[in-house]
Amino acid sequence: MVETIEWTSAGVIMIDQTKLPRQTEFVTCRTYEEVAEAIRSMIIRGAPAIGVAAAMGVALGMQQADVEFEKICTVLAATRPTAVNLFWGIERMKRKYAALAGQPHAAVAAALKAEAMLVREEDIEICRAIGRHGAALVPDGRTVLTHCNAGALATAGYGTALGVIRAAVESGKRIDVFADETRPFLQGARLTAWELQQDGIATTLITDNMAGHFMKAGRIGCVVVGADRIAANGDVANKIGTYSVAVLAKENGIPFYVAAPISTLDLTLATGDQIPIEERSAREVTEVFGVPVAPDGVAVQNPAFDVTPNRYVTGIITERGVARAPYTDSLRVL
Amino acid sequence: MVETIEWTSAGVIMIDQTKLPRQTEFVTCRTYEEVAEAIRSMIIRGAPAIGVAAAMGVALGMQQADVEFEKICTVLAATRPTAVNLFWGIERMKRKYAALAGQPHAAVAAALKAEAMLVREEDIEICRAIGRHGAALVPDGRTVLTHCNAGALATAGYGTALGVIRAAVESGKRIDVFADETRPFLQGARLTAWELQQDGIATTLITDNMAGHFMKAGRIGCVVVGADRIAANGDVANKIGTYSVAVLAKENGIPFYVAAPISTLDLTLATGDQIPIEERSAREVTEVFGVPVAPDGVAVQNPAFDVTPNRYVTGIITERGVARAPYTDSLRVL
């Protein structure tokens, strides 16, 4: 498996997720501004991966000459609004920076670099823990449906939803995967199918609008998705289309699990109604790899996320265990 | 508005719906085999339009030298399995042919040509009647969500679901439309958005997985879709994704209407479980206009239709009026 993001002496290296699976290209960010642009343009995406990239962006900025710490944090925070892990990653670096007050710049820069690399290492460990907790929930001999890419590419490695799938496979369960292609950015077709293919986990690609059909046909044993932000009451913001999958799962009596690190929780928000939803460019909908698929001038809406109310969520799988309703209690305990 | 299908002295002319909206090209079918291939390859698609094409294909075959009537019907019937209008169109031509028994070949060929042109004219009238019955159901000042293309391009003209929208607009209602792009063939993005743009009806294009989000947000006043086959109990086979839209509509208290001619009813089938569902090429999913969007060798499922159980259907709008549950009674009366 290729690495999603790495700190090297040349800069922060990321695999370019806008080009996969047609091209395996790597981007080297030499400044925090380049990291910010990589997050904004979705060269790197996925809530936990964005958190790691933000931490590395802060550390990278502090290696640059004459850059103000607060400026770095402000620029990185303005890249994408929905995934709370972005702000969590920046906050963690701010706390570290505060603890380093009074030390010489070189020492601060070195310590922040070490912290960012630790964030990355921890993210992989967290994903493995999520996998261990979630593997038991996956029914043996059945098909797992997933939406978008909550895989190694959405994290520093291993994945959240795909971490649960990987852990279930490693535990000996015989499962296969249905992957929603996840329009408009096609993370399912381009990233999830590619990742699971590399791991040799049997995967069937479907368009988003087929998921309900296969649920009704009894083909799906459970649904596992990631999350970009989870409110205190268990409402889940995740890739657009997640809400529809959740409603269809409930209608068909299929368990619907969310796999996410604790850093995805935002206990400052009582409900998901308060989560900001990013609206992205119309061209993501009207063009596919630059090929127009709609008439010129058509109006488009392109919300990148939706909010799934807690009543559709069977369980939230974190590195500290599985939360179940009522989430206002169970999430606080975690 | 361009014509979907026309009988001319040069042959049966169809607009090539695989190329819209990027190219406005017309295909001239000079033999019934070419009509069959046009149906199979979706140069023409949409249940009522397929019915018209089948009738014209039969008539065209009888203009050819040394072609057996039964052979023509068999070849045309083998093109696509789900839309019952195909078989309805062929059956209608068979009845006409039987009534012409004993007449000279030239007279039979001329009468079948006239019958096929009548089928086309009637289809437009039927769509206008569907529109009249359906217009009253559309809430004024609200947004209508539609899936796939049940428009002029899916019929000989005017459309079924889009006929309802057009009639509502003509009746003075101030409505706008949300069009699901309808993967994998993108009929919504390519055809519905294009048709409504030409008519000046305000249309917003969304990906299929956004429909639920906008329903939950209160943005959608009602859903109107077409149908490919309706069983005696009111179960509706229509473009893949229709079932999901119907479930989401019910979950959000939004009326879900099906607009279809009587020729779409198949009262020989007690329930929708018996409707054959066409599985199409994986390449429709893995490529968009020839551009690969998934890793090579990925497994794909591509059912072209799904079945929406009658309990999700608020009403079935036909040229003879609106049927409501229990459909086993109301559809038989129509």
Active site residues of B: 228
| Mean pLDDT over the full length of chain A | 97
pLDDT digits (tens, 9 = 90+) for B284-304: 999 999 999 999 999 999 999
Rounded to whole angstroms, the Cα distance separating A306 from B302 reads 26
How many helices (H) and strands (E) chain B has is answered by 12, 17
Q: Considering only alpha carbons, which residue of chain B is nearest residue A22?
A: B295
Beta partners for residue B231, in sequence order: B266
Answer yes or no: are the C-beta atoms of A166 and A199 closer than 8 Å: yes
Residue-level pLDDT at B2: 81
Average pLDDT over residues A227-236: 98
Buried/exposed A43-69: b ≥16 CB within 10 Å, e otherwise: bbbbbbbbbbbbbbbbbbbbbeeebeb
Is a pLDDT exceeding 70 seen at residue A1?
no
Is a pLDDT exceeding 90 seen at residue B1?
no
Q: Among B226, B223, B182, which residue's Cα sits nearest to residue B206?
A: B182
Residue-level pLDDT at A2: 82
Residue-level pLDDT at B142: 98
How far is CA A56 from each of CA A111, A124, A153, A166, rounded to the nearest angstrom? 12, 15, 16, 27
Partner residue facing B301 (CB), from A206, A286, A288: A206
Q: Kindly state the tokens that stand for A295.
A: 């008439």
Termini Cα distance of chain A: 31
ipTM: 0.97
How close B60 comes to chain A (CA, Å)? 33
pLDDT digits (tens, 9 = 90+) for B302-320: 999 999 999 999 999 999 9
pLDDT digits (tens, 9 = 90+) for B125-148: 999 999 999 999 999 999 999 999
Q: Considering only alpha carbons, which residue of chain B is nearest residue A212?
A: B244
Average pLDDT over residues A184-211: 98
Structural domains of chain B, ranges and CATH numbers in brackets: 5-127 (1.20.120.420), 132-333 (3.40.50.10470)
pLDDT digits (tens, 9 = 90+) for B259-280: 999 999 999 999 999 999 999 9
Average pLDDT over residues A139-144: 98
Compute the count of residue pairs across chains A and B with CB atoms less than 8 Å apart: 189
Q: What is the DSSP string of A1-59?
A: ---SEEEETTEEEEE-TTTTTT---EEEE-SHHHHHHHHHTTSS-SHHHHHHHHHHHHH
Q: Among A327, A130, A243, A152, which residue's Cα sits nearest to residue B209?
A: A243
A21:B244 CB<8 A: no
Name the pLDDT band for B85 (thresholds 50, 70, 90).
very high
B240:A295 CB<8 A: no
Is a pLDDT exceeding 90 seen at residue A154?
yes
Average pLDDT over residues A55-61: 98
Residue-level pLDDT at A266: 97
Q: Which residues in chain B are closer than 8 Å to A303, comparing Cβ atoms? A: 210, 213
